[in-house]
Copies of this chain bind each other. A is one copy, B any other.
Amino acid sequence: MASSFYPPQRTLMGPGPSDVSPRVLGALSRPTIGHLDPMFIALMDEIKTLLQYAFQTENELTLPISAPGSAGMEACFVNLVSPGDKVIVCQNGVFGGRMQENVERCGATAVMVQDNWGEPVSVDKVAAAFDQHPDANLLAFVHAETSTGVRSDAAALCALATQRNALSIVDAVTSLGGIELQVDKWGADAVYSGTQKCLSCIPGISPVTFSARAVERISNRTHKVQSWFLDMQLVMGYWGGSSKRAYHHTAPVNDLYALHESLVMLQEEGLEAAFQRHQHNHLALVAGLEAMGLAMAVAPECRLPQLNSVLIPEGVDDAALRASLLEEFDLEIGAGLGALAGKTWRIGLMGFASSERNVITCLSALEAILCRQNAPINSGKALNAAQAVFKG
């Protein structure tokens, strides 16, 4: 017989899920009400408004997809891509490859623009790709690459797409709530995110937003969207502004309580303050790591404050170190992915997990285990370096 599951209390400093705020967990477990209950309909409206704030947009079609970020990605592609289309896809980490998969499964052609893992998308290369493929009608890229910790210049890339009469799809899974994301100002056309990164919320939901130009392309489709579940015309009917909502699926009621609470928290703190907190804790973490003698994997000008890629010093047993962190400290950090597997650690400081306490916990735990492994580090310096940043 199976019995109830009581998870340990971890500190989540990997690439996500990140620590969930106790306020969000509290909201999550409130009594379930019907998805057609007038009180729930009002909550849906409030979630849309709060998401518009988080995305910095007035896009009417702004709502949470009832599934994880990967489904949010797919929602953007299946609605905006038609068979025979040509899409420029930027790849500088894991998620560009997934975008290519999405494009090809829509019966379209992906023109790949490759950059090294650990470097941002090259705007020049994208411009050259548009020169070579003037018929490309969509540009897709990742704003904050979770696999490497790199920020790309989303403003420049969206502007370039607009200039070339293409729409843009922006992966903002790890950026929303952690770094500046100006959907309207930048002219991004379809943006998807996730709840389990900088929103301090549980995993499972994907906020998306579509510009008026994107909605127009969706409305003018001649080929039905291949996914019924992710067809934005149907999802819109369910989340739409009118009082007569059309039943589409059953909303994940409790998950939306949680998302709502996390967005209320973001609004209370304010976007600017949230970005500053992420940046502040990032600088303290980096100061501590460098004082220890560790090196960051990404150049300072394109580092993500919420996801810190650190080079693993030679001779260190990566798997054993992460296992010790988890077992002895209940602390999770992330392994490198793909090309960076075994070469980097990914230390997340996302949302509720971006706190001075977590910076200190992580630095001291890391130092203790590295010392035990006899790694060549400078011990006894990291905490002071981090504290110096905190004290400003």
Q: Closest chain B residue to A327 by CB distance?
A: B38
In the complex, per-residue mask of A176-205: 1 if CB is within 8 Å of any chain B CB, else 0: 000000000000000000101000001110
Q: Closest chain B residue to A94 by CB distance?
A: B247
Contact of A204 among B8, B66, B74, B247 (CB under 8 A): B66
Binds B, one of A24-32, A359-367, A380-388: A24-32
CA distance A12 to B66 in the complex (A): 21
CA distance A68 to B230 in the complex (A): 12
Q: Is the CB of B66 within 8 A of A68?
A: yes
Q: Which residues of chain B are near A3, meaning CB under 8 Å?
A: 264
At the interface, yes or no: A129 with Cβ under 8 Å from chain B? no
CA distance A333 to B354 in the complex (A): 44
Q: Which residues of chain B are near A26, meaning CB under 8 Å?
A: 29
Known: A229-B70, A249-B68. A7 touches B29 (CB 8 A): no
CA distance A91 to B131 in the complex (A): 51
Q: Is the CB of B252 within 8 A of A255?
A: yes
Contact of A32 among B17, B102, B226, B257 (CB under 8 A): B17
Q: Is the CB of A33 within 8 A of B12?
A: yes
At the interface, yes or no: A260 with Cβ under 8 Å from chain B? yes
Q: Is the CB of A8 within 8 A of B39?
A: yes
Contact of A8 among B9, B33, B98, B332 (CB under 8 A): B33
Known: A1-B268, A70-B249, A250-B194. A255 touches B204 (CB 8 A): yes
Q: Is the CB of B105 within 8 A of A5?
A: no
Binds B, one of A43-51, A212-220, A275-283, A290-298: A43-51
> Distance (Å) between the CB of A92 and the closest chain B CB?
18
Q: Which residues of chain B are near A29, meaning CB under 8 Å?
A: 25-26, 28-29
Beta-carbon contacts under 8 Å, A67-82 to B: 67-71, 73-74, 78
Q: How many subunits of this chain does the assembly comprise?
A: 2
Q: Is the CB of B2 within 8 A of A203?
A: no
Q: Which residues of chain B are near A10, meaning CB under 8 Å?
A: 31-34, 37
Q: Is the CB of A257 within 8 A of B50?
A: no
Known: A68-B66, A227-B105, A250-B196. A7 touches B30 (CB 8 A): yes
Q: Is the CB of A49 within 8 A of B105?
A: no
Q: Is the CB of A228 within 8 A of B7?
A: no
Contact of A70 among B34, B105, B228, B326 (CB under 8 A): B228
Q: Which residues of chain B are near A258, meaning CB under 8 Å?
A: 254
Known: A4-B264, A204-B255. A332 touches B32 (CB 8 A): no
Known: A249-B69, A264-B2. A32 touches B202 (CB 8 A): yes
Q: Which residues of chain B are near A12, meaning CB under 8 Å?
A: 32-34
Q: Is the CB of B204 within 8 A of A263?
A: no
Q: Which residues of chain B are near A260, meaning CB under 8 Å?
A: 2, 5
CA distance A255 to B68 in the complex (A): 12
Q: Is the CB of B204 within 8 A of A204?
A: yes
Q: Is the CB of A35 within 8 A of B17?
A: yes
Q: Closest chain B residue to A147 by CB distance?
A: B247
Q: Is the CB of A14 within 8 A of B34?
A: yes
Q: Is the CB of A254 within 8 A of B37?
A: no
A and B contact pairs by CB, cutoff 8 A, 11 listed: A7-B32, A12-B33, A20-B254, A28-B254, A29-B29, A66-B204, A74-B227, A105-B225, A105-B228, A226-B226, A254-B258
- If A4-B23, A25-B30 are given as contacts, then 13 extra A-B residue pairs at C-beta distance below 8 Å, sorted by A number, are A2-B50, A7-B33, A10-B31, A35-B203, A67-B71, A68-B252, A71-B249, A202-B254, A203-B252, A204-B204, A227-B227, A247-B337, A255-B255
